[in-house]
Amino acid sequence: MSDNKEEEGRFNRYIISSLAVTSALLLLLPMLFVMGKDTAYSAYEVEELYQVSDMRDTLSEEERYFVANTMSTPMLVNDWKDPHRTLLAIIGPEKPIDDTEADEIYKFVTERGGKVIVAADNTNANRLANKFGVTFFNDPMLDEKQHWVVHDQLGQTPTISWKNVWSASSVMQDIDKMSPGAMMQGCTAFQIENYNPIDCRIPLMFRSPTGLRFEPLLRDTEDPGHRKIMTLGKASTSAFIDVVGSGDGTDPLNPAPGDLRLVMRFDYPGIEVFDELPIEERGAFSTGLGELEVTGSIVFVSDEEVFSNLLWSLDVAEEEGLSTDCKSVGDYTLNNCWTKEILNNNEWSGNERYFSLLVYDMMEFDNVNLSAQVRQGGSPGDKSNFQVVFDESRHVTGVVSAPFVETMGTVVLLTSNEFLKWLVVLNVGLLLLVAMMVVPEKENWRHVFDLTRFNRRPNKLDPSTYRKRVQQALFTKIRVQNDLTRDQMAAKPPPEVQALIGDPRLVELAYSQSRTYSPQELRRLMQAIRRWGKEN
């Protein structure tokens, strides 16, 4: 008995020690992986110039969108409320987008009418981009003709880098199909204020972007009208990808395809969803639920820093040596500046202006079939019925929050259902509790089918009932062998049952009242009962 208790105590110690070590590893390993790494391009980090908190402030406070974030994974996009009125911003993914997430985002755009902006200067977004025919290069682009300069605080000494690329970009038109006259027009103040940047372009600044390569999909050949493909901004013909890091455009190892894109947009029209529609016979502002055709839209940007605090607003950019135009000082002059491509209204006012127009155009504000109450909100300029969600799951998390974020991300990978998600969490906790349970009397317990039910073993059989149980086994065997119901068996007279049995020993077992049996005899009779079915 003492040996059993000692063995049981040792087993319990092993279980508790294993759980403690596992819990410590689950907490410490995520912390170790993120220790010393700074979170970049987060909408919720406000100090550094490489964050995107100014963009969040513009969209929430000035543009008055409803702004939120997702911390676990963008797999849940198709479960969000009103996905066709939601824009997902994936800016500077520091962790690759996996295949499952890419599939869900693809459905979000092409089946639910969702809006997405993906900005990266590496291959972390390629699983998603490839579904639309786009590939991100993994090295920086250099552009001899389309680059801007940075001045010192006195505005005297320019810093020249071909990695600082600019582009005169369109918001809603393919620049390869724009007329020459429209290509030379800058968007006027009236167009910007009324969110109608058609037949015009706006200067856009990039800081060490990569390039985008586009290859049409098979469906583009079979059904060219199923989506609208637009190149909104591209590099000059002198641009190349600096793969070897030499900065030499003549190096054959540095690809210079001559058609490197900087911003691409894909629209998927004709997606049917349910939303609030105007009911004309009840008045202009009456609404009712009905089917609505919307457009899914996704934009790929070859640089995350276009959204950064450094380039977002003009005030911050000027403090860092950028200017509203491409004028230079000293002996250096730009060979090809955007002022030569955009002849009027060509001042750069920060990237804020361009992307505010782009987000507005991607949403459903121009969908006249959508209720005016939804489009206009509660007051003029209110866009709170439209959501912008920043994907924070792609960024390095804080040391303390890393274990929680990784755990929730794993749970969401198991299920995207809100109820089932919490059910999984509760069941994990339950399994841990069951594993920690101490079984006091092992010999008096037995496991029944699952981890949640424990029953005591039945009491030992009374020896006086052995004969009765053997008789019951015999009658059951006879009834099953002859395909009889219980009632049919009970209705048969004893002589007929004896004839069915046939074996004198078994007949005596069934009907003798005076005969007694030893345990050994009952075991032999049980063997005879087992053989009886085969012999007959």
At 464, the pLDDT band (50, 70, 90 cuts) reads low
Per cent of the chain over pLDDT 70 is: 74
More confident call, 460 vs 245: 245
At 50, the pLDDT band (50, 70, 90 cuts) reads confident
What integer pLDDT is reported at residue 152 of this predicted model? 67
Amino acid in the structure at residue 170: S
Mean pLDDT of 56-83: 86
Read off the pTM: 0.70
Cα-trace Rg, the chain:
37
Residues 329, 156 contacting (CB under 8 angstroms):
yes
Residues whose CB is less than 8 angstroms from the CB of residue 175 and which lie 6 or more positions away in sequence, other chains included: 169, 183, 201, 231, 232, 233, 234
DSSP H or E run through 289: strand 287-301
Residues 172, 263 contacting (CB under 8 angstroms):
no
What integer pLDDT is reported at residue 424 of this predicted model? 60
What integer pLDDT is reported at residue 451 of this predicted model? 47
Provide the mean pLDDT of the chain: 80
Evaluate if residue 443 carries a pLDDT over 60: no
Strand partners, 118: 90, 300
What integer pLDDT is reported at residue 425 of this predicted model? 62
Evaluate if residue 3 carries a pLDDT over 60: no
What does residue 251 show for φ and ψ, rounded to 5 degrees?
-70, 125
What integer pLDDT is reported at residue 468 of this predicted model? 82
Mean pLDDT of 50-57: 92
Q: What is the pLDDT of residues 95-112, one digit of tens each?
A: 889 898 899 999 999 999
What integer pLDDT is reported at residue 41 of this predicted model? 84
Out of 22-36, 145-159, 321-335, 517-531, least confident range = 22-36
Evaluate if residue 157 carries a pLDDT over 70: no
More confident call, 48 vs 141: 141
Mean pLDDT of 111-140: 95
Strand partners, 296: 268
Structure tokens at 81: 């409320």
Mapped onto helix, strand or coil, the DSSP state of residue 434 is: helix
At 432, the pLDDT band (50, 70, 90 cuts) reads low
Structure tokens at 56: 């969040």
DSSP H or E run through 240: strand 240-241
DSSP label at residue 320: T
Evaluate if residue 116 carries a pLDDT over 70: yes
Evaluate if residue 34 carries a pLDDT over 50: no
- What is the rounded CA–CA span in Å between residue 214 and residue 208? 20
What integer pLDDT is reported at residue 474 of this predicted model? 81
CA distances from 220 to 116, 126, 229, 300 (A): 20, 19, 10, 18
At 380, the pLDDT band (50, 70, 90 cuts) reads confident
- What is the rounded CA–CA span in Å between residue 76 and residue 68? 14
What integer pLDDT is reported at residue 61 of this predicted model? 93
At 120, the pLDDT band (50, 70, 90 cuts) reads very high
Mean pLDDT of 434-457: 50
Q: What is the pLDDT of residues 398-430, one digit of tens each?
A: 544 444 555 555 544 444 455 555 666 666 666
Evaluate if residue 85 carries a pLDDT over 90: yes
